[in-house]
Structure 1
Amino acid sequence: MEKKNRKPNQYTEVAASGQHICISAHKARRVIDQIRGRSYEETLMILELMPYRACYDILKLVYSAAANANHNKGLNETSLIVSKAEVNEGTTVKKLKPRARGRGYPIRRSTCHITIVLKDISVDEQLEKDKRTKERRNI
C-alpha cells in the first residue's frame, strides 16, 4: 500500500466504547475532562490516583483502546494520546423499592455511554515530514 493513498485519521485513530455504564453522565464527565488531550501513560497515572468511582470504568476503556491500537493496527502505546473522549447519556433503569404498607418507591439509575479515541502522533509527524519534503522538492 502506498503512503499517498493513506487517510491520516483512518490509520492513526483507534476507539473503544462502553455502553450502559451504571454511572451518571455528569459524574463521568468530570473525570473525562481531566484526561482529554493527554498522553496514554499520563492518563493511566491520573485515572489510578483519582478518587472517583467512574475512574475504574474509564480506565478499562483506555486499556481496551490501547489494546485495540496494538493488536489491530500495530501502534506503539508510548506514542498514543487521548484525542477524543466523550460521554453521552444512556437509558435510565427504573426500579421499585418496597416501602412500608405495601407501597413502592421509584428508583431511577442513570447510565451513560463513554467513547475513548486514541491517536498515534508518531504517524502524524511522519506524514507532516513527508508533506514538507514534497513541498521542498516542488519549489
Structure 2
Amino acid sequence: MINKISGTEIRALAKHICMSPHKARRVIDQIRGCSYEQTLMILELMPYRVCYPVFKLVYSAAANASHNMGLNEADSFISKAEVHGGAMMKKFKPKARGRSYPIKRPTCHITIVLKERKKSPLVV
C-alpha cells in the first residue's frame, strides 16, 4: 500500500489487488460518501471477498489522517473512492491433445480519499 497526503485530504492507494475491477466497484459504490464509522460497519457485514482489502485501505487512510495530520477519525468521510483496472496476469492451462488455453487473472488499483467534515458554526 502506498499512502500519500496532499492538502486537507488523505489519500490511500492499494495496487495490484487480485480482483476484477467490476467486482471491486460493486463494493466501492456502496461506501462512497459514507462516514468512516459507517464505512467500517458496511465492509464488515458485506459478504464479498474484496471487502477485506478495502477495509484495510480505509483503516490505513484513517490511521494516516490521525497520525500525520492530527485529524479525528470520527469526523472524516469517504470523499472519493475509485477503482481502476491493473495489469492482467496471464497463464496457460494445459488441456487435452496437447492444447492450451489462456487464463487471465485481472487485477485492480483502489484509491480512497478521506476528508474531514466541516462543522457548521452555531448562529446565536
> How many angstroms does 1:103 deviate by?
2.2
Q: Which residue number corresponds to residue 10 of structure 1?
A: 7
Higher helix share: 1
Q: Which residue number corresponds to residue 6 of structure 1?
A: none
> How many angstroms does 1:90 deviate by?
0.8
Q: Does residue 84 in structure 1 map to residue 88 in structure 2?
A: no
List gaps (5 residues or longer) in structure 2.
1-5
Distance (whole Å) between structure 1 residues aligned to residue 30 and residue 14 of structure 2:
18
Q: Does residue 39 in structure 1 map to residue 35 in structure 2?
A: yes
**Alpha-carbon RMSD:** 1.6
Distance (whole Å) between structure 2 residues aligned to residue 86 and residue 32 of structure 1:
7
Distance (whole Å) between structure 2 residues aligned to residue 114 and residue 94 of structure 1:
21
Q: Which residue number corresponds to residue 4 of structure 1?
A: none
Q: Which residue number corresponds to residue 58 of structure 1?
A: 54
The alignment partner of 1:108 has SS state of: strand
Distance (whole Å) between structure 2 residues aligned to residue 40 and residue 87 of structure 1:
18
Q: Which residue number corresponds to residue 3 of structure 2?
A: none
Q: 1:6-47 CA deviation, whole Å, 9 max, x = no partner? A: xxx712x10100011110111000100000000000000000
Give the TM-score, by structure 1 length: 0.79
List gaps (5 residues or longer) in structure 1.
1-8, 133-139
> How many angstroms does 1:71 deviate by?
1.1
The alignment partner of 1:91 has SS state of: coil
Q: Which residue number corresponds to residue 70 of structure 2?
A: 74
Q: Which residue number corresponds to residue 109 of structure 2?
A: 113
Q: Larger C-alpha radius of gyration, 1 or 2?
A: 1
Aligned partner of 2:98 among 86, 102, 105: 102
Runs of 4+ aligned residues of structure 1 deviating over 4 Å after TM superposition are none
Q: Which residue number corresponds to residue 5 of structure 1?
A: none
> How many angstroms does 1:48 deviate by?
0.3
Distance (whole Å) between structure 2 residues aligned to residue 97 and residue 50 of structure 1:
33
Distance (whole Å) between structure 1 residues aligned to residue 16 and residue 93 of structure 2:
21
Distance (whole Å) between structure 2 residues aligned to residue 64 and residue 100 of structure 1:
47
Q: Does residue 27 in structure 1 map to residue 23 in structure 2?
A: yes
